[in-house]
Structures are given as C-alpha cells and as structure tokens.
Amino acid sequence: MELHGPVPVGPLTTSATVLRPGRSVQLVGSELYDVARGRVVATATAWLFPASDEGPEQPKPPQHGPADGVPHERPTAWHGGYLDAVEWRWISGSVETPGPGVVWMRPPALVEGEDVSPVQRLLACADSASGVSAALDVRRWAFLNTELTVHVLRPPVGEWVCLDAETTLGPGAVGLATSAVSDQAGLVARTSQALLVAPR
C-alpha cells in the first residue's frame, strides 16, 4: 500500500480492479479517493493466492496472550482517534519506551453494523509497527509511513492480533519498521514500512 498523503476524516470513495487475472494467482488493485480535495490519497495492490488447507506445519503459538498484556494510555504527544479506538495489551515495550515492542491489539468495527473480516482485522493493526517499536522520543521526532507491505501467510483467527515489532534507523531521514504478526495459534504475517524520519 502506498500512502500519497493524509487520509481525511470525511467523504472517501474507493475503486477496485483486477490488474492481472489468473488461474493460480491474481493481481488486484484499489484506490482511495478524497472527495473534498479531488485526489487519490492511497493505492494498494495485492497478489491473491488460492485458499488451501494443505501445507507444512505451522510455527508454535506465542508463549503469551492478550490476558498477559498490560493496558497503556497513549502519550500526550500522540493524537487520539485510532490510538484510542484500538485496545492495547503490552507484553514488552510501550509507545513511550524507545526500542522493540510486543503488543496484542484488538481493533474496533471499521463500518458500523458490519463484521470485520480476519484480513481486515490484521491490516487495521499492521500499520502500527512503527509506533509499537518507536526508536525515538515521539515528542521530538515524527516517523511517517510512506508505504506498508504485508505478506499474509493465513488469515488470523480470533479478535486479537500480536505485533512483535522493531524499527531500524538509517543515518539520515530513512527508517524501516518491521513486525511479525501472530494470533494465538501462531504466525500469520510479516510486515515492513518505509519511514520518513524528521524532527517535529
């Protein structure tokens, strides 16, 4: 997913298309359009693989669950909205503690009256890796996600997903946030985000 600019809280439209049809794999794409400003704010592409119950044995599940985590209030330097809507249970680290972090997350319903699909739940949390593993003081530094890549191994099961995240900083304005995403049965995805790092 490429982020072209801030996504407003306001009227948005989406479009989706099959970019490359296929019997084994398919490439699909989507655009998110800001109606008020008349511009595309995000684009996404995805390779769709066939569903199958056959395959190698899954990795072992995490040694902890949401009940083992600790709730944590967001720092005053961070805005509400998404951060207040998601439930957080921290296993290690915190948004205010620079360094890697492990947290269980449960996002709310995205559209009132509609159930959240397992992949929607996963993607609603996957973008949080840079915050979970903030490498710098969030009151002094901003790290903006310019893109997000998620390799989904399987849809998660249950309402909670766990991010085990780490941020690596370059010598200039470049950073990279990565995470392993699990449910209570084991690994479900790996993510990476390119970050623009700049003083506030």
- Report the C-alpha gap between 52 and 63 in whole angstroms: 27
Stretch 68-87: mean pLDDT, rounded? 78
Query: 3 with 81, same domain?
Result: no
Q: How many domains does the chain contain in total?
A: 2
Return d(Cα 178, Cα 170) in angstroms, integer.
14
Characterize 60-77 residue by residue with b for buried, 16 or more Cβ atoms within 10 angstroms of its Cβ, and e for exposed.
eebebbbeebeeeebeee
Distance of CA 90 to the CA centre of its chain: 16
Tell me the C-alpha distance between 130 and 132, whole Å. 6
Check: CB of residue 106 under 8 Å from CB of residue 66. Answer: yes
Domain check: are 72 and 14 in the same one? no
For residues 159 and 99, state if they share a domain.
yes
Q: Are residues 69 and 40 in the same domain?
A: no
How much is the pLDDT for 76? 66
- Average confidence (pLDDT) over 144-173: 93
Mean pLDDT of the chain: 89
Start-to-end C-alpha separation, the chain: 25
Instruction: Please state, in angstroms and rounded to a whole number, the distance separating the CA atoms of residues 83 and 4.
Output: 21
Domain that holds residue 154: 64-200
Q: Stretch 78-92: mean pLDDT, rounded?
A: 84
Backbone conformation region of residue 184, classed left if phi is above 0, alpha if psi is from -120 to 50, else beta: alpha
Same domain, 33 and 77: no
Task: Please report which helix (H) or strand (E) contains residue 14, including its range.
Answer: strand 12-20
Average pLDDT of span 143-161: 92
**pLDDT value, residue 51:** 81
